[in-house]
Amino acid sequence: MDSGILVTERADGRTLAQAVSEGGALSPNATHRLALAVLTALASVHRTGGHHGDLGPHTVVLGEDGTHVLRGTPDGEGGQSADMFAWAALAAYAATGRDPFGEVDKRRRYGAADLGALHGELRELVADCLAEDPEHRPAAEEALLRLLGQSGALETALPDTPEPPRRRPRALLFTAAAVVIVLVFGALGYLLTPRTVSAQPVAAGTPSRPASATPTKPTAPKPVPVTRTITLPDGAGTLWENAADKVRLTAYYIGKDGSDSVAYARTLDGTGFARTGGDNISSPVSPDNRWMATVNELHILTAERLDVSFTDRVTGEKFTVPTVTNPRWGVSPQWSRDSRTLLLSMLERDEQVQAAYVRGFILIDVERRRATVVETANAEDVAMFRKQEPDQRTSYYYRWAPGDQLIASGYMTPESGEGIRYRDLTGKIVRSMHWVGRPIGQTPFSPSGRRLVTTSCAKQLTSCIWDVDTGKRLASVPPSPGFMYGWYDEDNLIVGRVAGKKMIVEAIDLKGKVTRKLAELRAVKDKLSDLRFDRY
């Protein structure tokens, strides 16, 4: 068996060609399920550097236990981009019951395919995979990301020149744990043996009133001058730091030409970075520097359950906490300020519209080594999600609010605006600010907890600064192409932008002026990256 090629020694059932010949085109739902199953197999094969080479209706079997992809010819011509073309033609064939190019030479007729009954994201993805130029076809992992319905969750990069919004204003600065990551796909995974603990689902309840946060008065420091330069491992880039910095890079995930992306975390002594994993791995370090969590943000490709690994960086002890099982998964991990609890947003796939939405959140108590699953999306939320146009569906991830007693996330108002909503740790809504727009950044709250940064908050393209207590707008930050990581201090934000083959991270003031360069890292085409800046 060739490494990385998915093989079924005995696959009972009809081939897709036989099924279509006997019964005609598949239903829309069956077509989507088949496209997803085959694309998942391709993504796993491509992650190993291989390719199938002979994907078509005759090599896909529709069995009672699911879809099987028979052994291919990995020595054949075409490579991975040809696999993507073949996958798109396969999906179109399943939906229409006929060759999307008829009897005409496919390689001279790209763009003229009959996409028949295909609709929505699947139709757009199939069309992209049929691009004439192989370099313009999406990679399998990128395609899988889109088909799982998370392209909106990426909240990523913006064009160098902003495009006019079609339905409602979109600001130029978006959340940065994004194209720089958010969800990274691949087939490299792990399955650790868990301790005897269990995830405990709870319904949104009515708790005792939590203690309110009492942030200290902001001192509004300015970015301090650079006093230390850190060279990142493997030529990834350079950091410029000062011992007085209130934030610093604690972990990152970065692409590399010709190989897998790699995850790193800052060492315990703070002087360098050590490798923590490969594709899909996020390694957030707790604010007290003791704990490191290891999260596979797409465990569904390799395991039935998401197991989160924790490392005590002082003693070296390691343990694993089990959380949710497919079709749910956890993303965008964030530590509480007291370093006791890890928060993850929980996604779930809705079969009716074939897209993922935020079902709730997961809280992992490190001391008790226990996960609590909180479901927040009710029937009304799901109905609203289903009614939205595909390009308007957005995933709002959960973030800790100041004081660690509440969590916050964006939400869509009944008027199709955006705001921020606070919940207690049982999921009960305790406050909403419907007029402020969408919170952005790895944390939208300033270090004091008194300020909030949002986007989609005005008729013009801008980011808005709000007083958390009064809800009054304090400032409007001019637009800038790129993405936002959050706050440097009370008067400066951290933003990133791609310039050629470099990703430049800077601090800017609330007038949009660059006040300090923080980092410069390599940017690799078609590779996802993520930088985690944390207060400590």
Q: Residue 60's beta-bridge partner residues?
A: 69
For 486-501, write each residue's pLDDT tens digit: 999 999 999 999 888 8
Per-residue pLDDT tens for 105-136?
443 343 456 676 677 778 888 888 888 778 88
In the chain, which residues fall in CATH 2.120.10.30?
173-535
pTM over 0.75: no
pLDDT band at 461 (very low <50, low <70, confident <90, very high): confident
Q: What is the pLDDT of residue 98?
A: 86
- Residue whose C-alpha is closest to residue 187's, from 305, 78, 310, 296: 296
Residues 6+ apart with CB under 8 A from 165: none
* CB crowding 488-520: b at 16 or more within 10 Å, else e: bbbbbbbbbbbeeeebbbbbbbbebeebbebbb
Identify the CATH homologous superfamily for domain 14-147: Transferase(Phosphotransferase) domain 1 (1.10.510.10)
Higher pLDDT, 36 or 204: 36
- Strand (E) or helix (H) holding 186: none
Sorting pLDDT into bands at 50, 70 and 90, what band is 64?
Answer: low
**Amino acid identity at 287:** P
Give the span between the Cα atoms of 351 and 262, in whole angstroms. 32
Predicted confidence at residue 378, as pLDDT, reads: 86
* 240 CB burial (10 A radius; 0-12, 13-18, 19+): middle
For 209-249, the pLDDT digits (tens) are 333 344 444 444 567 677 789 999 988 999 999 888 889 99
Sign of CA dihedral 441, 447, 449, 450: negative
Q: Are 320 and 373 in contact (CB under 8 A)?
A: no
CATH 1.10.510.10 residue window(s) in the chain = 14-147
Report the CATH number of the 173-535 domain. 2.120.10.30
Among 303-307, 371-375, 459-463, 525-529, where is mean pLDDT lowest?
Answer: 525-529
Over the chain, what is the mean pLDDT?
79
> In this structure, are residues 439 and 408 in contact, taking their beta carbons and an 8 Å threshold?
yes
- Confidence tier at 436 by pLDDT (50, 70, 90): very high
Q: Which two tokens stand for residue 322?
A: 């089990």
Angle (deg, nearest 10), helices 140-147 and 79-96: 30
